[in-house]
Amino acid sequence: MRRNQIVEEANAIGTAYLRLDVLPAVAQPPLREEFRRYVDARLAAYRKLPDVEAAKRELTTANALQEEIWKEALAAVRGDAVPYAPMVLLPALNAMFDIATTRTMTTQLHTPLSIFVIMFVLALMGGLLSGYGMAAGKSGSWLHMICFVIVVVATVSAILDLEFPRLGWARIEAFDRALADLRAKMQ
């Protein structure tokens, strides 16, 4: 889901950036510069994670730039030079802002504590039951004990990896390349 949202955001920004072409030539350069700054702020926010406070500062900058882009776009489409400009540009900007909000909110969604408590209780109960079952025998099987520990640790690690995709093994930073590539094209 998070990987798809990164690609969606890059596509939405790219589409809106291309649609700036429908504006009068005099209105395009300042908006293009705002777009570049906006993408830089979005990239910086995600690069600064797991430092949540630094990421929030960058997201605040990006949100302020959204407002500026919107105001400048509205001012540019109010003229009669290109009558279809509002119908082409404004929905693209709206989609760009919507996916940014979706991505921001997704980073703030976390697995409920109750899930972690249930995982802990299941691991504990599984360990107790396995230990009780092995205690009935003359000697415990080291292979079974080690396999049980590996399975429990792998399961918990996989769930934590999904919870924090910028810290674990299954990272999503490679998908940020979509935004970085888009930014490189905005020169």
> Which sequence spans correspond to the domains of the chain?
2-109+171-185, 113-163
Q: Is the pTM of this model over 0.75?
A: no
Token readout for 131 is 């230990």
Compute the distance between CA of residue 13 and CA of residue 167 in angstroms, rounded to an integer.
26
pLDDT along the chain (187 residues), means of 10: 81 93 91 95 85 88 95 85 85 94 81 85 84 72 80 83 68 70 84
Q: What is the pLDDT of residue 142?
A: 76
In Å, how far are 26, 106, 113, 114, 123 from 120, measured between CA atoms? 61, 25, 11, 10, 5
Query: Cα(first)–Cα(last) distance of the chain, in Å?
Result: 30
| Amino acid occupying residue 75 | A
Q: Which residues lie closer than 8 Å to 32 by C-beta, 6 or more apart?
A: 17, 20, 186
Q: What is the pLDDT of residue 31?
A: 95
Compute the distance between CA of residue 4 and CA of residue 57 in angstroms, rounded to an integer.
24
Q: What is the pLDDT of residue 84?
A: 84
Q: What is the pLDDT of residue 73?
A: 92
Backbone φ and ψ of 17, nearest 5°: -65, -45
Compute the distance between CA of residue 169 and CA of residue 164 in angstroms, rounded to an integer.
10
